Amino acid sequence: MDMNLPPSRGDSPVIRIFGVGKTGLSAIELLIADGLSPEEFVAVNLGGTALECSSAAQRLRLETKRLRGLGSGGDPARGRQAAEEKSEELKRLCEGVDLIFIVTGLGGGSGTGISPVLARAAKEAGARVLVFATTPFDCEGDRRQEMAHEGLEQLREATDGVICLPNQKLFRLIEENTTALDTFKIADRLLATGVLGFWRLLSFKGLIDIHFDDLSRFLQDRHAASSFAVAESAGPDRVQLVLDRLAAHPLLEEGAALSEADAVLVSVCGGTSLTMAEVNRVIEQIKAKCGSVELVMGACVDERLADKLAVTLICNRKGECEPTPRGQSEELRAQLLSPGSPTKPGSRFLPPAPTLPPEQVQQLLSKQAKVRGATRRNSTKMRQGQLPLEIVSKGRFDKSEPTIHRGEDLDVPTYIRRGVPLN
């Protein structure tokens, strides 16, 4: 493959892509392998082998003495604290950049904790910020799901747009025998493909330009759920094939995302053989599915695509990109805490006794003494009895004389002779 990209537009904005955490680092490695220049990337993590081996031109290790080389331990608070301690350095990496892409995975300590701090630093530096984030599989547990949800909310408040890829949707793409390792690789590839499609909108010479101001307006203050999909096809029927693949794309919920969209961005990219008729047909078909919504579109030429046609589709929808059945958890919690529900178990730690006047203390003590005395009088002393069983034979000791000492038969067990009760 020719790793040299065609010249970008002279008026194209300066873009920098940050890979945060393990997921982000994996995605940017795929993008660099696809031919993007390492100079456009910054790898950010708390440390580890993945950061040391990253191909990004700049790498920022956020490890602090407090973490002692143990990473975040899955705690976003540790990742956030480490990022805040180096917020000025993060801000410096964003200076002079028009658009920041943050590629990350939510639900763990690094991506969830670092990404919102980085987004705020980028905004302070004057850049637009777009986040591409994955959220956990349902089987990863409620804790990771809730942390991902909180991370999404923080990112929506701090950025211009969040494009969310719930990993749970990958089950529509994989087969029954797909390994866990391959599944996460597919997630990383989808994330990288989405970033690449968006990057093409701004980096190649356009047949129909998407101006940076239009893109900023598309992203500005849109904190609804975003869905994206990228489809490619080749051959004489490439337009119909790419439209069919988009219509069936699981990340677009088989077309539901288009019909529910508040705004849609479409990028059509092809080789030098791309025609305006093909561009028009793609746009018209997508517009027919999404109705009268705001549509931002562009078309560009990428010589590496040769006879391929690639369409990137981004939908902003009203609604939430919930990575978790959090609503069910909240509903269950509400049921458990409702007045009609059983009371929860009391704490094993008792509160301190109330302060009472000396007269009431004496009254309570006297009542307790009377109750104890009545209990003692009414209790019957238990004595150990001997069952009325006839001893038939003592075996070879049958003719032996009993051992008598001071009038007591020592052959009788001591607890019976002394009347000791057995509990």
46 & 119 share domain = yes
Establish if 385 belongs to a structural domain.
no
Encode the chain (423 residues) as per-residue pLDDT tens digits. Answer: 333 333 444 456 789 999 999 999 999 999 999 888 899 999 999 877 778 888 888 999 987 555 555 555 568 888 898 899 999 999 999 999 988 999 999 988 899 999 999 999 999 999 989 899 988 888 888 888 999 899 988 998 888 888 888 888 788 777 888 898 888 888 888 889 888 888 877 776 667 777 666 666 666 555 455 677 888 899 889 999 999 988 888 778 767 778 878 888 888 988 888 899 999 999 999 888 887 788 888 888 888 888 899 998 888 765 545 544 444 444 434 443 444 444 444 444 445 556 667 777 677 777 766 666 655 555 445 555 555 555 555 566 666 777 787 777 777 777 777 777 665
Nearest Cα neighbor of 99 from 129, 120, 78 is 129
What is d(CA 229, CA 232) in angstroms, rounded to the nearest whole number?
A: 10
Looking at 325, 352, 383, the residue that finishes a domain is: 325
Sign of CA dihedral 79, 84, 89, 92: positive
What is d(CA 82, CA 64) in angstroms, rounded to the nearest whole number?
A: 6
Distance (Å) of CA 21 to CA 34, 45, 198, 199, 281: 20, 5, 21, 21, 40
119 & 173 share domain = yes
Q: If you count them, how many residues does the chain have?
A: 423
235 within 8 A of 307, measured Cβ to Cβ: yes
Establish if 262 belongs to a structural domain.
yes
pLDDT of residue 300: 84
DSSP 346-405: PPSSPPPPPP--HHHHHHHHHHHHHHHHHHHHHPPPP------------GGGTTSPP-EE
Establish if 342 belongs to a structural domain.
no
Sign of CA dihedral 206, 212, 214, 218: positive
CATH of the domain at 80: 3.40.50.1440
DSSP 292-327: SSEEEEEEEE-GGGTTEEEEEEEEEESS---SS-HH
| Domain count of the fold of the chain | 2
Q: Please give the residue range of the domain that contains residue 129.
A: 12-203
41 & 182 share domain = yes
64 & 177 share domain = yes
Residue whose token pair is 């005395």: 373
Establish if 355 belongs to a structural domain.
no
Structure tokens at 277: 């008729």
State whether residue 179 is helix, strand or coil: coil
Establish if 274 belongs to a structural domain.
yes
